[in-house]
Amino acid sequence: MSRYRRLITFDDGREVEAVVDIAKRKNLYIQIKEGQLIVKIPPKMADDEMMKFLNLREEWIFRSLAECGREPVRLKDFADGEQFDLLGRTATLRYITPERYREAYLEGDTLFVSVPKSGADIDSVRRDAMRFITDLANKELRESCERLIKLTRLCPKKITVKPMKSCWGRCSSNGSVSLNFYLYEHPKECMDYVVVHELCHLVHMDHSREFWALVEKYIPDYKEIRRRLNYNE
């Protein structure tokens, strides 16, 4: 019906330019497309109602805008102060020298790894950091699986988490699902989407209209999440 640009000012003072799309629809939707916030609202929606919704989604909006066109950052040198992506946030690796060794742990957005006072051994730092990240990836992905299997009532025969080079997930003809270990770099909603995508393949082993309708039933904003993951079939 109409489409216009406007400056959105959030309760904390942050601002972002958005495209407001008014058309016949029942609900309000938001998406990030080509680095642009698009707000889709039904006719006659009050401005304060729209802003209430946007304020609730503020962190997601700014995080998604920041991620546009950005490649994930992984630990490479395992140096003190090195930054990397963890669950959609920027985390920092920090060395600590406790009296007694302790396993790596996350506090806020900082991953602490114990090193001896005599100096860090990079191989040991890499081992401890990756052990923590691997445990976290498995924990988060399996939590998504358990919750979404219960929601969809679609249960694979087997779930495997492993590094994958060309896809985020895979569903085999025998009903087994594989999930990409590197999903740990992305927000929880991205993990949820990939899990739902593969679970839906238990019903439709293709990318038919029926398949996407089933995905959308559980992940209404799946198209935006696919874009953020640079999804390739």
Is 210 in the same domain as 152?
A: yes
Instruction: Please report whether residue 72 resides in a domain.
Output: no
Q: Which range of residues forms the domain containing residue 217?
A: 143-228
Is 172 in the same domain as 208?
A: yes
Q: pTM for the whole thing?
A: 0.70
Three-state DSSP class for residue 133: helix
Q: Identify any residues that bridge with 178 across adjacent strands, giving them in sequence order.
A: 160, 170
Q: Which two tokens stand for residue 233?
A: 């079939």
C-alpha to C-alpha distances, 40 to 68, 130, 179, 217, 233, nearest whole angstrom: 20, 41, 32, 19, 28
Is 209 in the same domain as 158?
A: yes
Which tens digit of pLDDT belongs to each residue from 204-219? 999 999 999 999 999 9
Q: Edge to edge, what strands does the sheet with 158-162 contain?
A: 158-162, 176-180, 169-171
Q: Which two tokens stand for residue 55?
A: 């304020």
User: Are the C-beta atoms of residues 89 and 67 closer than 8 Å to each other?
Assistant: no
| pLDDT for residue 99 is more than 90 | no
Last residue of a domain, one of 137, 152, 181: 137
Rounded distance, CA 163 to CA 84, Å? 17
Is 152 in the same domain as 224?
A: yes
Count of structural domains, the chain: 3
Rounded distance, CA 75 to CA 127, Å? 12
Rounded distance, CA 187 to CA 172, Å? 25
Instruction: Please report whether residue 76 resides in a domain.
Output: no
| pLDDT for residue 34 is more than 80 | no
User: Are the C-beta atoms of residues 55 and 10 closer than 8 Å to each other?
Assistant: yes
Is 129 in the same domain as 154?
A: no
Q: What is the pLDDT of residue 233?
A: 44
Instruction: Please report whether residue 13 resides in a domain.
Output: yes
Is 45 in the same domain as 89?
A: no
pLDDT classification of 131: cutoffs 50, 70, 90: very high
Q: Which two tokens stand for residue 60?
A: 């997601």
Q: What is the pLDDT of residue 216?
A: 96
Is 198 in the same domain as 156?
A: yes
Where is pLDDT greater, at 228 or 194?
Answer: 194
Helices (H), 94-187: 122-152
